[in-house]
Amino acid sequence: MALGKDYAQQHCSIARALEVVGERWTLLIVRDAFYGVRRYKDFLVHLGIPRAVLAARLQSLEQAGVLEKRRYQQAPPRDEYVLTDAGAALWPTLFSLGTWASGHLEGMDVPRSFLHAACGSELGAYGQCPACGDVVTAGDVVLAPRPGLDPNPGNPVSRALLEPHRLLTPLDVDR
Amino acid sequence: MALGKDYAQQHCSIARALEVVGERWTLLIVRDAFYGVRRYKDFLVHLGIPRAVLAARLQSLEQAGVLEKRRYQQAPPRDEYVLTDAGAALWPTLFSLGTWASGHLEGMDVPRSFLHAACGSELGAYGQCPACGDVVTAGDVVLAPRPGLDPNPGNPVSRALLEPHRLLTPLDVDR
DNA sequence: ACCATAGGTTCAATGAACGAACTCATGCGA
DNA sequence: TCGCATGAGTTCGTTCATTGAACCTATGGT
């Protein structure tokens, strides 16, 4: 992409990471993938992203090995995009980014919380469970809405996310 | 900035974070601030960023409360940009981003390592010290070059970074 | 035969990034 | 005092990316 030309020079792992996930929209797509969004249409309506940009980003994330595109239905042919293991390893980054915003940005009311699936307690700094002491990986995290989240959103993906949902498991969008 | 119009709708802490640090160059500027870069000129030569973009980013990071601009010399007037506490709290994000790239991107040879200043061991997942078990904050991290890093870089900032350097402490660029 | 749906691609208009040149305040050496 | 150098920007024309609307294709349903 475009970041490449300059960033590649940097010879730094952070710069290399940003080459892959640093473009506009990219990390939001990855976030949605953690939330269980898998289909083109669902990314589209949930993010409000232009179609051309979504297609480009899905393709580059697939090439980078973050997402895997796989056919889940033959006729009509339908593909879904699922996080690979490498993609799922982005969870600490995404979690700390969200935690940072919750704690350090003005006027943030935190709309959702991340809970340890095993015990239900809210994850603390560095994604640790304060009760168990475990560092919790994405598959053991439950995303739960909090009061203040719009109870009647306009798109089916947001509606599906009104109920607690385990990360990485597919979201049942069509009720 | 430009991301705002769409991202603001998202009512999600990750989206809010990306509003502040999600633009091109922004996280590399923050990374350099952790490395001890403080002056306009040094950001410029180390990043190879267009001057206008750098000026815009420094200003928006200051407004967001990530960087503090402060006068370190009256005549001629000279300012430096230093991470605030809120800015320094971005360390886990940056660290996990770098860790992710080191572990999951093709053909990454890791050019630098992050060590726990107290004991010298290399930091593990989520920025924990495997020896002490402590979660290490940015101020207790030493950035150390590894073999393979260009031994004779073209700019003084990269030259200064050839020696181990504690994060957040000012970099002595002029030898 | 007609419409709907999922997942795209194409295209003109807009906006952001780029890089070179210019500005301005100051210090310094001759 | 003149002239040059330095740091920290701003200005501006060109290039590149993003946007949103329209179009396309394959299939299924009625």
**What mean pLDDT do residues A80-98 have?**
97
Sorted by sequence, the CB contacts under 8 Å of residue B23 that are 6+ apart come out as A24, B1, B2, B3, B57
Q: Which residue has the tokens 């990750």?
A: B14
The pair of structure tokens assigned to A148 is: 């203040």
Contact B64 A18 (CB under 8 A): no
Q: Where are the alpha helices (H) located in B64-128, listed in sequence order? A: 85-88, 91-104
**What mean pLDDT do residues B108-116 have?**
93
Going by C-alpha positions, the residue among B56, B21, A2, B17 that lies closest to residue B43 is B56
List chain B residues with CB under 8 Å of A11: 111, 149-150
Q: For residue A87, which phi and psi values (nearest 5 degrees)?
A: -65, -45
Task: Let me know: does B163 contact B171? Beta carbons within 8 Å.
Answer: no
Going by C-alpha positions, the residue among B175, B168, B140 that lies closest to residue B82 is B168
Long-range pairs, B163-167, Cβ under 8 A, ≥24:
B164/B115, B165/B35, B165/B36, B166/B117, B166/B139, B166/B141, B166/B142, B167/B34, B167/B35, B167/B36, B167/B91, B167/B138, B167/B139, B167/B141, B167/B142, B167/B143
Residue B1 is predicted with a pLDDT of 40
Tell how far CA B126 is from the center of its chain: 17
The C-alpha atoms of residue A92 and residue A90 are separated, in whole angstroms, by: 6
CB of residue B52 closer than 7 A to nucleic acid strand C? Answer: yes
The C-alpha atoms of residue B141 and residue B161 are separated, in whole angstroms, by: 14
Domains assigned to chain B:
4-86 (1.10.10.10), 90-166 (no CATH)
Predicted confidence (pLDDT) per residue in A105-125, tens digit: 998 889 999 999 999 999 988
Smallest CA–C1' separation from B53, nucleotide: C17
Q: Mean pLDDT over all residues of chain B?
A: 92
Predicted confidence (pLDDT) per residue in A129-162, tens digit: 999 988 899 999 999 999 988 889 999 999 999 9
List chain B residues with CB under 8 Å of A27: 14, 18, 22
**Vertex A142, ends B7 and A103: CA angle to 5°?**
50
Does residue A7 carry a pLDDT above 80? Answer: no
Going by C-alpha positions, the residue among A87, A73, A99 that lies closest to residue A29 is A87
Q: For residue A15, which phi and psi values (nearest 5 degrees)?
A: -65, -40
Does residue A8 carry a pLDDT above 70? Answer: no
Contact B13 A65 (CB under 8 A): no
Predicted confidence (pLDDT) per residue in B51-74, tens digit: 999 999 999 999 999 999 999 988
CB of residue A58 closer than 7 A to nucleic acid strand C? Answer: yes
List chain B residues with CB under 8 Å of A17: 97-98, 100-101, 105
Q: Is the Cα torsion angle A171, A152, A53, B1 positive or negative in sign?
A: negative
Q: Which amino acid is at A156?
A: P
Does residue B4 carry a pLDDT above 60? Answer: no
Q: Mark the nucleotides of strand D covered by protein, meaning any atom under 7 Å from a CB.
A: 6-12, 16-22, 26-28
Smallest CA–C1' separation from B56, nucleotide: D9
Does residue A2 carry a pLDDT above 50? Answer: no
Does residue B16 carry a pLDDT above 80? Answer: yes
- Other C-beta atoms closer than 10 Å to the C-beta of A122 total 12
